[in-house]
Amino acid sequence: MNTKLHAICESQGRPLDLFVTAGQVSDYIGARALLSRLPNVDWLLGDRGYDANWLRETLQDKRIRACIPGRKQRKKPVKYDKQRYKRRNRIEIMLGRLKDWRRVATRYDRRPKVFLSAIALAAILIYWL
């Protein structure tokens, strides 16, 4: 059993909101779940998995600029700020620090709710205490 962790992080890389989906599920499901919980921000950085027209339109309606590179299959390339996109490494660093916890890295917990609670506990102890 595999899972994907979707997270909303602040500019310093500290997690604000977390969501777990099954590993074979599209990233769009995680984006849709976290979309209503987005804080009031100017930019949203995401990887190619979050490239969707409906997501870009929803962010535009909320006056949030998307810095998401387009998928390779796109017929018309999407422009994005490449310098700003380099800051996405903070998210990857945050995920890596969470995986320093053995329980999170090896996914001892079978149930998604228990696994998410272990991730949340690790995030609180690492970033907020």
CATH code, 23? 3.30.420.10
8 Å CB contact between 116 and 17: no
The helix/strand/coil state of 20 is strand
Angle at Cα 64 formed by Cα 59 and Cα 65, nearest 5°? 95
Q: Which two tokens stand for residue 97?
A: 């620090």
Domain that holds residue 93: 3-128
pLDDT tens, position by position, 15-69: 999 999 988 888 889 999 999 899 999 999 999 989 999 999 999 999 999 999 9
Structure tokens at 88: 């996405």
Span 75-109, pLDDT tens digits: 888 999 999 999 999 999 999 999 999 988 888 88
Tally of structural domains, the chain: 1
pTM of the model: 0.84
Query: Which pLDDT score, from 0 to 100, does residue 100 have?
Result: 92
- Distance from C-alpha of 115 to C-alpha of 98, rounded to nearest angstrom: 12
